[in-house]
Amino acid sequence: MRCPSLYVITALVWSGLGPLFAQRDPFAPPGNATGGEDSAPAQNFIVQIRLDIDSIEIPHDQANALIRSMGGAFAGGSKARETALLSVAAGQGKRLHRQFLTTPLGRSQSESIQESPCPTEFDPVMLGLITNPGPPEVVKPFYTPTTPQSFEFKHLGWTTSAEVSCDPSSGWVELNLSHSWSSLTAEHAWSRDYAEIKQPIFHHCQFDSRFPLRRGEWTLATLLRRPNPEAEGVGGPFVPDRVLTFIRALWEDPAAPVTNASRPAKAKAAKTPPAAGLLHEWIEISQTDAAALLARYPAGEQSGALRNDLQERISKGQASLLETTYQILRSAQKSNTRSVTEIGNAANFAPAQGGGQTQGTIPPAIQKYERLFFGDTPRIPETFQLVRTGIDVETELTCVRNEGPFSINTQARMVRLMGIRCHGDGTQEKQRLETVECPAGFAGSLIARQPCLIAKVDAPPPASLGLLRGPSVEKIPEKALLVFVTVLP
C-alpha cells in the first residue's frame, strides 16, 4: 500500500558574521561609514560565495583511470571535468545533477527531497470461513492480507549542507560540506500469495568532508556509486557506472582593497592549504594469482609495481576492478564517503498460518481451498530492520605540506549480500538476509602518488536476493580482494 508522497524543496542560509543589517552596504569595499583612513577590519567585508556542484556519471573504468591520471587533487580538477564531459558528449555518460548554492561566509543548506513511506511493522494475515446456511449451503473463505501498521519516512532526493570559512582575499576558502542523495531502486517481496509483503530497496550516497577550494577552479570532491535498478533488484551491490562530483567556488575578488588612495593594501599570497585526495581501490583476483603476486612484490615500497601489474591483468580480463572511492580532505580533518544499499530484513515473525494447524479430514466444502488454508507458506515477518550493504570509508589525514609526508588513518568497510537464508522447513520456515563483511584498515605514512597495498581479504561470492537452503557452510574462498590506497596531493 503506497501513501501519497510529499515533495519538499527548501533553501536555508545562516550567516556567521554578525548582524547582516548592521552594514551600510554588504557589497561595498571594506571601510568605515565615513570613508576615513581608519578602515573596518577585513572580516567585516561580507562576501557572497556561490558554490557550483556538478555530478557527472561515467563508466567505472573511465572514472578510475581519470582519477589515477590526475596531476593532483587541485591541479587536475578542471581537466578531469572536461574529460568527463567528453564521455557524456560521446554517449558514454550523463549529467546526473547540477546544483548552485549561494552563501555568505557561514552556513547554508539546500534540499530537494521526496518523503517516501517505508513500512516497518505489519499486522499478520487473518483467515476464516463464511457459511451461508442456504439452501443450498455455501462455504466461502475470507482472508485479510498483511497490513502495514507502522511506517518510517525516508527522504529521497538531494541534500547539500555547506559551511564556508577563511578570508577569500587569499584566493582560497575552506568548505565544510555534507552532500548526499537517496533513491528508491526496487522492491523485494517476502513470502507469497495472500501473505506477500513488499519491502522497498533504497540506495544512499553521502560525502562529508572539509577541504579548501581555489577561487574559480573545479575540484574533484568525491566519487560515489550510483544505483542501478536492474542490479539492485537482485541485490547486486556492484554496478558499472560511477558519479564524479566536482565543486567550484565563485566570489567577487577583494584581493586589492584600498584603505587610502596613497596606501593600497597588500594582497595576500595565494598559498595552497595542506590537503590531499585519497583514492581507495578494491581489485578482485584469484587466490592463486594473489599469492603469486604477493610473493613477487613482498615489500611495501613495491606496491606501485604490483598495482601496475594488476592493471595489465584487468585489461586482459584476469582481474576485476570491483570498487573505487575518492575523497578530498584537509589536513587534521576527517572525511567519510558512503555508497550503500538499504534492504529491509525480517526481524520478528508471526505464527505460521496454514499447513500443520489442522488434524483429521479436510471438510469437503473447503477442499478446493486446501492450498490457501493448509499450504506451505513460510512464517510471515511482522517487523523489519534496514540492513546496509556496500562501501563505507572513513579517513583522517595529517600533513604539514602538500608534498608530504602524509599520515593517514583509514577504515574501509565493504559489506556484500550473500542472499536470503531459509531457516526451518515448511510453515516453520523463516527467511533472513545473510551478509558478509570485508573490512580493511590502515594507519601509517604514505608517499605521494604511490599506491599502497593496505589489505588482502577474502572476496565474498556474487551477491543475490535468491534463496539459500540449508545451514551456512564455511568454504574456501576462490577469490581475493586487494585493497589499495593512493594519496593525491
Domains in the chain: boundaries: 7-14+44-254+272-488
Between residues 17 and 464, which one has the greater pLDDT? 464
Which residues are paired to 162 by β-bridges?
A: 108, 177
Look at residues 454, 475, 459, 480 and name the one whose alpha carbon lies nearest to residue 313: 480
Q: Higher model confidence: residue 472 or residue 201?
A: 201
Confidence of residue 259 (pLDDT cuts 50, 70, 90): very low
Quickly count: other Cβ atoms within 10 Å of residue 450's Cβ. Answer: 15
Query: What's the chain's average pLDDT?
Result: 77
Rounded to an integer, what is the distance from CA 2 to the centroid of its chain?
26
- Mean pLDDT computed over 82-106: 90
Q: Report the residue count for the chain.
A: 489
* Bond prior to 405 in cis (omega within 30° of 0): yes
Which pLDDT tens digit goes with each residue over 52-76?
999 999 999 999 999 999 878 888 8
Confidence of residue 188 (pLDDT cuts 50, 70, 90): confident
- Nearest CA to 175 out of 398, 56, 338, 329 is that of 329
329 and 395 in contact (C-beta within 8 Å)? yes
pLDDT at 316 over 90: yes
Residue given cell 570498487 in the structure block: 323
Which range (22-31, 87-96, 164-173, 245-254) has the least confidence?
22-31
Taking the CA atoms of 271, 328, 59 and 66 in sequence, report the sign of the dihedral they define: positive
d(CA 66, CA 92): 14
Mean pLDDT of 206-224: 94
Return the closest-CA partner of residue 204 out of 240, 244, 232.
232
| Alpha carbon distances (Å) from 271 to 112, 168, 401 | 36, 12, 11
Nearest-10 crossing angle of helices 60-68, 77-89 = 160
Instruction: Give me the pLDDT at residue 263, please.
Output: 40
pLDDT confidence of residue 371: 53
Per-residue pLDDT reduced to its tens digit, 361-403 = 555 555 555 555 555 556 778 788 888 888 999 999 998 777 7
Greater pLDDT, 231 or 462? 462
Q: What's the rounded Cα separation, in Å, for the pair 303 and 413? A: 21
| Residue whose cell numbers read 599502497 | 452
pLDDT for res 29: 37
> Do residues 72 and 489 lie in contact, with contact meaning Cβ atoms separated by under 8 Å?
yes
